[in-house]
Chain A
């Protein structure tokens, strides 16, 4: 696509994007909510979006599906107040809807797989009903213009102007960064065009290409994005990305996940791990240097030495 057409398309999208923005007041409300049983909080939403990313990744869906799903979710949440216990159903419905719009039929994971893998508590019919509700509330506007749309356009524009730098500006990397940002609800308040441009600039500054920077500036002027707005979001993006890029590994939270194994494996596990420790009275025959633990019972029925492992020391996990 030639540069002129691209710019034109850019403009068109820019004019349309406002229709797909979640209501800011709704988002603010979520952000200001503290942990509460009745309302969705930012933390709640963010955790759910991360779950959606896990599912996206697992089923091999594209970033487009993910971004669209988050968009649908945020728009819905900003509009309708729901209880946290329904959040799971809403978010998975959004993912399913987004996948139907974006993915090819053959790549679509069936609803019951989604539910099973996501360890959800609701049924397929619940999911279908929820999808209908979401679609209705959002006026059936499922094909949204998102930051990804802009990101793709920017990328194409940039490349069409400086072909020798093709490898350096990685779309995949930009997509991953966008995804990281979307895991925080505050970024849903940004205009998609601005968010995408912030990401683009960030990356260009990283690879230090003067002519790409020039192009980015050109885009900014074309869309009439103010410096102030761009700066604001660039700062926030920078902070988010530096967290994202930190090499620190956090300890994962085991409690949220269910570990279901087959019965045979479970039996195998139990025979090794679950039997509680027995105290063996250490009978120190210490005339030599070596002693013998007399955990073998003295009569035939007594407990013999533990067939399992005695956890004698509690290991302290190292802190990252």
Chain B
């Protein structure tokens, strides 16, 4: 160990503290050492940095030595960035070891161990306390990997499957800065170590499977997807079966997980990348998306709409035709701003106008039904735009749809009128029965209002309102009459067995003796 006791900005050795085998000496700077000696110094510094410090339970401990380590790491980063031929063969195992020692640790438990899971949107992430050191270790390792002197053939002895596995485990860290570094690190490793690629993909697959089907909890999905995005981008054509399966069995089911919003942009990117590579996958993708489509009009729906629009932006017209009907039937249910905004997308509109005869009749009722009145002014305006574009496409088609819509509406009206008349008939028949007044509860409303449409028509709502009001008035009239305030007891069962059973039933408490007379 070289010691130095020069004054100035060097740290001087104090008495050794309780930190085990650590020899708290500040090593020389690289620049102060002859080139021949630099390798040895390098290894020493690396080994020195294998000592871990406690930042969590005792943040103020060993401040000097923490600074020593930090300075050493920083210096090494500079060293390999600005010097060539300093990464020699003995260095490799030391670097990897240093990284492993610092990084591969059990992650702290989730910040909400008892309550809800860590919600990446709401909760503040628990940041890594040892970040000042970890950051530099990551930084250093990255420079190491990216150095022009770096030789994968040598490194592969040390950067092996086990290493990768442990690296992947770290992706569950709550600290986004760490995940960011991990992402870049893994990306570089994937790029340089061809032999590890299949293994990496397989392990990522497994992480996803566990996430989707078992835990639904993992903090690093977005980062992993980001890496995958650039991996997918580099896929050669024709796509291997393995990749297609990945799309269908992993990427698509990721849409149904609750925490979708955390990683949705990355996921959408991956999906679209796939489609750009192989457009025959469009149909299964779109159908899966429709299958996982959120059932309520939630913010989640907006994500799906975003993704869908991106898919449509790159869709081949021939594929479009295959999926247009179910797709627009789903869209017709979304009278949401985001869905209506689709009509502003010129490419989508050109696709629609090429297939207008099939699509417009699906969209029309949804739009037209809401056109007259919609409580939301923005949506109201957008509906108008959509209808106007529609009309410009083909006036006759528009008129035909209008006529059909009106015809159906009239049919519905006629039907509900028939139903009402039928009920009234029944009621009249009942009234003519002399026993009527014995059984009827006089606070009944006049007639049930049947609402078959999924969106109640204005007329239905008004009618219902009227009926309720009438019923309420009637009730008031009733209450003015004298009515004895009798609490209605439940009727006793007539069945003999039940009655016997009730009588012979004893409560458990009567039979058990209580403890201590309590």
Contact = CB atoms under 8 A, between A and B. Distances in A.
Closest 5 A-B residue pairs measured CB to CB?
A: A317-B350, A252-B389, A252-B392, A291-B234, A176-B399
Q: Interface on chain B toward A: helix, strand, loop, or mixed SS?
A: helix
The A interface is mostly helix, strand or loop, or mixed, namely: loop
Interface-central residue, B139, B180, B378, by most chain A CB under 10 Å? B378
A180 B387 contact: no
A171 to B, nearest CB: 11
Nearest to A241: B396
A257 to B, nearest CB: 5
B183 interface: yes
Contacts of A299: 142
A249 interface: yes
24 contacts: A51-B388, A57-B402, A60-B371, A116-B377, A180-B396, A249-B354, A250-B393, A252-B390, A261-B378, A262-B378, A265-B337, A268-B302, A268-B306, A269-B306, A283-B191, A285-B192, A290-B197, A291-B234, A293-B233, A296-B187, A304-B226, A309-B269, A309-B313, A313-B314
Contact of A318 (B314, B346, B354, B382): B354
B353 A249 contact: yes
Contacts of B208: none
A193 to B, nearest CB: 24
B344 A254 contact: yes
Interface in A249-269: 249-254, 257-262, 265, 268-269
B276 interface: yes
A272 B313 CA distance: 12
B354 A320 contact: yes
A292 B187 contact: yes
B346 A300 contact: no
Contacts of A254: 344, 346, 349, 389
Interface in B250-283: 265-266, 268-269, 272, 276
Given A294-B230, A296-B184, A247 B357 contact: yes
Nearest to A263: B378
A152 to B, nearest CB: 17
B301 to A, nearest CB: 11
Given A290-B234, A300-B184, A265 B397 contact: no
Given A253-B392, A290-B235, A294-B191, 19 more contacts: A60-B371, A180-B396, A244-B396, A246-B396, A247-B394, A250-B392, A250-B394, A260-B381, A265-B337, A269-B306, A269-B341, A290-B236, A291-B234, A296-B183, A297-B184, A300-B184, A307-B265, A309-B272, A317-B350
Interface string A82-118: 0000000000000000000000000000000000110
B384 interface: yes
Interface of A: 50-51, 53-54, 57-60, 116-117, 119, 172-173, 176, 179-180, 244-254, 257-262, 265, 268-269, 271-272, 283, 285, 287-300, 304-309, 311-313, 315, 317-318, 320
Contacts of A59: 371-372
A292 B139 CA distance: 21
B472 interface: no
Given A54-B391, A262-B337, A272-B310, A292 B229 contact: no
Interface in B58-88: none
B199 interface: no
Contacts of A246: 396
